Amino acid sequence: MITIQRIAGSVSQFFAIALLVSLPFTSHAENFAEFGDYVIHHNALPTDILLPEVARAYKIKRSKNRGMVNIVVQKKGKGVAAEVNGTGTNLNSQLKHLTFREIKDGEVTYYIADFRVTNKETISFKVNIKPQGSSKTHTVKFKKEFYTH
C-alpha cells in the first residue's frame, strides 16, 4: 500500500528532478529567466515520464501524446505565488491555450498546464507571469519539440 508520505516525497523529488533532467534536452536554452528579484523557472516535458503515483496525485494524464508546462516563481530564492497564463503555438500556427493549475508542495508552488501533442511537434510557448505583490507581468518564451513514438 502506498502511503501519503511516500507519495508526497515522490512528488517533491519528481518536480525537482524533472527540472534538472530536462536540461540536456533544451538545445542549449536556459530554463529560467530573471526579472529583477524574481527568477522564473520554466520547463516543458511529455507527461509519460511522470511516475504513475505522481500523475495520479495531481490528476495529470500520463500519455506519450500529452505534454505539460511547469512554471516556478521565486523571489530571492523563496517560492512566490503568481497569476500564470499562456499559449503554445506549433509550426502550423495552431494555438494551444494553456490552463495552469496551482500545485503547492511545501515551500514551492508549481503552475502546471497540460495539453495534447503529436510526434515531432515543436511548440513555441509564451507564458505570462504576474508574481503576487508585483504590479508587473513578466513573459517567458521557450520552445520544445515532442516525440510520441
**Residue-wise over 4-37: b if at least 16 C-beta within 10 A, else e?**
eeebeebbeebbeebbeebeeeeeeeebebebee
Residue 111 pLDDT class (50, 70, 90 cuts) = very high
How confident is the model at residue 105, as a pLDDT?
85
Residue 122 has pLDDT above 70, yes or no: yes
The answer to whether 9 and 116 have CB atoms below 8 angstroms apart is no
How confident is the model at residue 9, as a pLDDT?
54
Between residues 6 and 75, the one the model is more confident about: 75
pLDDT in tens, 55-72: 999 899 999 999 999 999
Dmax over CA atoms of the chain, in Å, equals 47
How confident is the model at residue 20, as a pLDDT?
40
Give the mean model confidence (pLDDT) for residues 17-34.
55
d(CA 97, CA 102): 16
How confident is the model at residue 27, as a pLDDT?
40
% of the chain residues with pLDDT over 90: 72
- Residue by residue, DSSP assigns the chain as ---HHHHHHHHHHHHHHHHHHTGGGSTT--SEEEETTEEEEEEEEEGGGS-HHHHHHTT----TTEEEEEEEEEETTEE--EEEEEEEEETT--EEEE--EEEEETTEEEEEEEEE--TTEEEEEEEEEEETT-S--EEEEEEEEE---
pLDDT in tens, 89-108: 999 999 999 999 999 988 89
Give the mean model confidence (pLDDT) for residues 22-27.
40
The owner of cell 536556459 is 30
Residue 28 pLDDT class (50, 70, 90 cuts) = very low
Average pLDDT, the chain: 86
Give the mean model confidence (pLDDT) for residues 137-147.
97
Domains and CATH numbers, the chain: 4-146 (2.60.40.3340)
d(CA 28, CA 115): 24
d(CA 24, CA 65): 21
